[in-house]
Amino acid sequence: MTKNDDIKACRDAGVAEYCDLLAARNAPGAKAYVRTYGCQQNESDSEKIRGMLAAAGYSVTEDAGDADVLVYNTCAIREHAENRVFGNIGEIKHLRERRKDLIVVLCGCMTQREQTAERVRRQYPFVNIILGTFVLPRLPEYIWRCLNGEKHITDLSGSGGTNEGLPVLRESRIKAWLPVMYGCDNFCSYCVVPYVRGRERSRAPGTVEAEARRLVEDGYKEITLLGQNVNSYGKGTGEGVNFAGLLRMVDGIDGDFIIRFMTSHPKDATDELIETVASGKHIAPQLHLPVQSGSDRILAAMNRRYTAEKYLSLVSRARERIPGLTLTTDVIVGFPGETEEDFLDTLALVREAEYDSMFAFCYSPRPGTPAAEMDGQVPHEVKTERFARLMSLQEEIAQRRNLNLVGRKMRVLLDGVSSRAGRLTGRTPGNLLIEVEAPESMVGTFADIIVDSARAWQLTGALEERSCRAGT
């Protein structure tokens, strides 16, 4: 399929009134640039933003200097993410000076906080539209209003919604994001998400299943079910389908594809979920189980509602039942009050859990969250020193685990072209990155690969048929 097919698909998908108005008004060649910060949920929202923009007659450009509309889909999870956004929108001031008719949109988690919206209005007056997280579908309307003379629009209204029926212009033809729920009810004491994304709301299971079926029919080879805490999926749908049930529904679809999901809150990961992953036909042997800390004292202060022991028992049940499980996690170092002993508990847990990979973060105080007000904020140097120790332990573990994979055969989804000539990148069933010598024509297919070398962050392998031939 070509980009034009994409645009047609978006237009067929029930285009809103304002998309049609814009499409009729836009000159041929009108362009939009969308920049995404943060998590997969944001990547997925950006695909909807691109879908709406395509339906409104814009073609998507990678060059901000070439665009008529600039959209920055922002992240608020850590201060660093926010600073990057402020840096980047600061840089577009000169574009605005050159192009008076340029429309600049800021949306995503950062904008949902009134104080941030206020700062943007004050310091970056060239931003035309500030769009909160609950009003994404109003983007075409607000662009239309700006084209018709309004200079500034801020809309932080709403508190729910699941963005049904919006056109989607996907980044990839191979892998698809499929949001199953939005928001979060957990209120971990460090986290801004419940404040900016609102309460949990799940999409209807039949809608998710139908979308997955269409993706498989369209040739997608990997579907990732997305939510801040997929394990609490189903509340409020009135359909009695929990996340394990939803996984089974999607797993029941015929075709050659793999299902992944994220993120699972450990407190809600059930044996039913583990069994469903273990017995699934398409479900990847992979769990992303953010632990955040190995200290019970810190876990309690984080409001995580599990202990290190409970977490490790979940891990050992999962390892027992899911052969070849790839386990990944998120860890925060330097949470308020974290002592050296607490940190050593984290290192001990990491050693025991033996993760394949980890996302580690230095704690970043988020205004409005309980942890930001806690005593015992940890100095920056202590955080970075702990971060380095944690990463070096993880590197050692990943290297050891990856070396164990050398010589194994794996069914790999080849998903892209490597920067090294003649090689493709791919993902193992557990989602580990692997590089393989293979022709470009194989991108988008599954191939049997024999792992032939391993580093901490990446495997390399050879197509099975080639390694057999080489060996005969």
Q: Is 238 exposed, middle or buried (0-12, 13-18, 19+ CB in 10 A)?
A: exposed
Q: Looking at beta carbons only, is 26 or 364 nearer to ligand 5AD?
A: 364
Would the CA dihedral through 9, 11, 246, 178 be positive or negative?
positive
In the complex, least distance from residue 150 CB atom to ligand 5AD, rounded to whole angstroms = 35
In the complex, least distance from residue 73 CB atom to ligand 5AD, rounded to whole angstroms = 16
Q: Are strands 222-226 and 258-262 parallel, antiparallel or unpaired?
A: parallel
Q: Looking at beta carbons only, is 248 or 305 nearer to ligand 5AD?
A: 305
Q: Looking at beta carbons only, is 374 or 433 nearer to ligand 5AD?
A: 374
Residue 186 interacting partner from ligand SF4, ligand 5AD, none (CB closer than 5 to 8 Å by kind): ligand SF4
Q: Looking at beta carbons only, is 26 or 263 nearer to ligand SF4?
A: 263
In the complex, least distance from residue 186 CB atom to ligand SF4, rounded to whole angstroms = 4
Q: Looking at beta carbons only, is 132 or 227 nearer to ligand SF4?
A: 227
Which positions ≥6 away from 254 have C-beta within 8 Å? 216
Q: Looking at beta carbons only, is 31 or 288 nearer to ligand 5AD?
A: 288
C-alpha–C-alpha distance, residues 418 and 435, integer Å: 7
Q: Looking at beta carbons only, is 63 or 381 nearer to ligand 5AD?
A: 381
Residue 244 interacting partner from ligand SF4, ligand 5AD, none (CB closer than 5 to 8 Å by kind): none
Biggest CA pair distance of the chain: 73
**Helix 340-353 × helix 380-403 angle, to 10°:** 10
Of 200, 212, 202, the residue nearest 242 (C-alpha):
202
Residue 364 interacting partner from ligand SF4, ligand 5AD, none (CB closer than 5 to 8 Å by kind): ligand 5AD
Residue 171 interacting partner from ligand 5AD, ligand SF4, none (CB closer than 5 to 8 Å by kind): none
For residue 263, whether the previous peptide bond is cis, meaning omega lies within 30 degrees of 0, is yes
Residue 77 interacting partner from ligand 5AD, ligand SF4, none (CB closer than 5 to 8 Å by kind): ligand 5AD
In the complex, least distance from residue 262 CB atom to ligand SF4, rounded to whole angstroms = 11
Residue 69 interacting partner from ligand 5AD, ligand SF4, none (CB closer than 5 to 8 Å by kind): none
Q: Looking at beta carbons only, is 179 or 461 nearer to ligand SF4?
A: 179
List contacts with ligand 5AD (CB under 6 A): 77-78, 190-191, 290, 292, 330, 332, 361, 363-364, 366
Instruction: Quote helix, strand, coil % in the chain, to nearest 5.
Output: 40, 20, 40
Q: Looking at beta carbons only, is 59 or 111 nearer to ligand 5AD?
A: 111
The count of C-alpha atoms lying within 13 angstroms of the C-alpha of 361, restricted to the half-sphere facing its C-beta, is: 19
Residue 184 backbone phi and psi in degrees, to 5? -155, 140
Q: Which residues pair with 326 in a beta bridge?
A: 286
Chain residue whose CB lies nearest ligand 5AD: 330
In the complex, least distance from residue 228 CB atom to ligand SF4, rounded to whole angstroms = 4
Let me know how long the chain is: 472
Look up residue 219 and give its DSSP letter: T
Q: Looking at beta carbons only, is 9 or 77 nearer to ligand SF4?
A: 77
In the complex, least distance from residue 334 CB atom to ligand SF4, rounded to whole angstroms = 16
List contacts with ligand SF4 (CB under 6 A): 184, 186-188, 191, 193-194, 228-229, 265
Angle at 215 between CA 213 and CA 220, to 5 degrees: 125
Residue 137 interacting partner from ligand SF4, ligand 5AD, none (CB closer than 5 to 8 Å by kind): none
C-alpha–C-alpha distance, residues 139 and 121, integer Å: 18
Residue 229 interacting partner from ligand SF4, ligand 5AD, none (CB closer than 5 to 8 Å by kind): ligand SF4
Angle at 205 between CA 199 and CA 206, to 5 degrees: 140
In the complex, least distance from residue 133 CB atom to ligand SF4, rounded to whole angstroms = 13
Residue 85 interacting partner from ligand SF4, ligand 5AD, none (CB closer than 5 to 8 Å by kind): none
CA distances from 437 to 51, 174, 175, 407, 456 (A): 34, 19, 21, 16, 20
Residue 184 interacting partner from ligand 5AD, ligand SF4, none (CB closer than 5 to 8 Å by kind): ligand SF4
Residue 49 backbone phi and psi in degrees, to 5? -60, -45
Q: Looking at beta carbons only, is 220 or 311 nearer to ligand 5AD?
A: 311
In the complex, least distance from residue 229 CB atom to ligand SF4, rounded to whole angstroms = 5
The sheet carrying 69-74 orders its strands as 59-60, 31-36, 69-74, 103-108, 129-131, 153-155
Look up residue 292 and give its DSSP letter: B
In the complex, least distance from residue 304 CB atom to ligand 5AD, rounded to whole angstroms = 10
Residue 332 interacting partner from ligand SF4, ligand 5AD, none (CB closer than 5 to 8 Å by kind): ligand 5AD
Residue with tokens 């299971």: 205
C-alpha–C-alpha distance, residues 348 and 352, integer Å: 6
Q: Helix, strand, or coil here: 116?
A: helix
In the complex, least distance from residue 185 CB atom to ligand 5AD, rounded to whole angstroms = 15
